[in-house]
Chains A and B, each alone.
Chain A
Amino acid sequence: MIFMKYISKSEQETRAIAKKVAAELKGGETLCLIGDLGAGKTAFTKGLARALGVKQIITSPTFVLMKNYKTTGQRSIKQLTHIDAYRLSEGRELEAIGALEYFNGKDCVTVIEWADRVRDAWPKKIIKVEFRILKGERREIEIK
């Protein structure tokens, strides 16, 4: 995985960065997205999903908390699990919605938005993606 800092100047660039990240994924990864409202977490997820070959429209899972999408194209990745922890206050709530069974599933990539709210439920190995709002439309996206 390329661990580095990017500066994105637009939503399109954020999606393009996600595409680069997607190219590195093999399945079994959990991406923890952290950043404020409007920082680009959903745009990143949309870019990632598109690059993994998800055909459906990725809509916000804030209301139902978790949505699963079938991927096409990538040989080893079969599913994208999109979790939104915006309304959760602790990790064990992820268990209640049945999310834990997808973590580290070999053919599944899991994306958790607002991951800092459920830090106690993070799997051991994660890819942390931090978004910082800079001036105007500029965003710093740090992957580590």
Chain B
Amino acid sequence: MVKEKQLKILAIETSCDETATAVLKFSRGKVEILSNIVSSQIDIHKKYGGVVPEVAARHHVENILPVTSESLARSGLRPVEIDLLAVTSGPGLVTSLTIGVETARALSLDWQKPLLAVNHMYAHIAGNFLQPISFPAVCLVVSGGHTEIIYLKDYWQFKKIGQTVDDAAGEAFDKVAKLLNLGYPGGPAVSATAEKFSIQNFQFTKKIELPRPMIKADNFDFSFSGLKTAVLYAVKKMPSKEKEKRTAEVCWEFQEAAIEVLTTKTIKAAKKYGVKTVLLAGGVAANKRLRESLKAAAEQVGYDFLVPEFKLCTDNAAMVGLAAGFLAKKQKVKLDNWKKIKADPNWELV
């Protein structure tokens, strides 16, 4: 695989509630995304206030083949021209992962193309691999299920140096949205409400102070469960007639607290590990305030800062293809590799 001038990859991602397929072309150090299709189920899960596993799986089954054939059609390639298949096999919801994994295995056998299993968290990081990176680097990966700091020596050697000890950051956003009746998905809902407050003159009106959990702790771990509980107390203390007006303030302060901890600890890790680049990845990397905050803090110290464009932050298959393209440079994927691949909901980066 290393010597091939071109590598054309079809990648599949179904770890949660997005059915996604992408086709990428690697040639002489350049990467081109030929197609990147995402069929989102957000509208379907909205009425339940969160992803319902069985409903998600049923929609993956219905969507996976149309999405895959659309992606292939838009890329202008035929199956015979694909060199490598890639699929997210974990971590994620087992019922969702299984649909993508089994589809990819079937395609591998039918098309006689090798299949590579990709870790979803590594794929999020790989969303940054469209541009050249100066290593070493640290990457803050934040999503609905994960919050971790990964140290990368290069594209292939990495280790987890910090993580949440309870809830993921994205999960805290979702739960705060639920406490405040803001709807689903919680991240964008909390941010939009926070924005309403920040455009007012908050210095004179801000009364709520939330904690910055573990910000001073001598490690790179996070805790968001207590922050969520602090929001609960703040809401309980509010006089009921002020509740609606103060919701924006709570959202603003919660978002600031979460982002301050995420930024501070990532920069602390960058200093400790003497990196050249700070990366941001994962669904919560679509949060505008977090992007601004980490970028400013990283560039102030003199680090390069990279974050994928919005559509490569939330779940997609292009990032899975990117990850596979880099992994394939270091390993030969056998034609019968599909036999060994199965969904692994708890596959963590270590």
Contacts and interface: CB of A to CB of B under 8 A. Distances in A.
Interface stretch (B92-100, B189-197, B250-258, B323-331): B92-100
Interface residues of A, number: 28
B171 interface: yes
Contacts of A46: 166
B50 interface: yes
B91 A64 contact: yes
Contacts of B232: 37-38, 133
Interface in B15-55: 16, 48, 50-54
B144 interface: yes
B145 interface: yes
Nearest to B171: A62
A65 B93 contact: yes
Nearest to B97: A64
A38 B16 CA distance: 25
B43 to A, nearest CB: 17
A57 interface: yes
B168 interface: yes
Contacts of B50: 86-87
Given A38-B228, A63-B144, A64-B145, A57 B53 contact: no
B145 A67 contact: no
A73 interface: no
B23 to A, nearest CB: 28
Nearest to A46: B166
Given A62-B171, A64-B145, A65-B93, A93 B165 contact: no
Contacts of B51: 87
A113 to B, nearest CB: 12
A68 B92 CA distance: 14
Given A37-B178, A37-B179, A89-B48, A60 B346 contact: no
A63 B145 contact: yes
B112 interface: no
Interface of A is mostly: loop
A88 B57 CA distance: 13
A68 B52 CA distance: 21
Contacts of B163: 57, 59
B176 to A, nearest CB: 9
Most buried by A among B91, B94, B179: B94
A62 B171 CA distance: 8
Contacts of B293: none
Interface in A64-109: 64-68, 86-89, 93, 96-98
Interface string B158-198: 00000111111001000100110000000000000000000
B171 A88 contact: no
A59 B169 CA distance: 12
Interface of B: 16, 48, 50-54, 57, 91-95, 144-146, 163-168, 171, 175, 178-179, 221, 225-226, 228-229, 232-233, 345-346
Given A37-B178, A63-B146, 5 more contacts: A59-B166, A63-B144, A63-B145, A93-B52, A133-B232
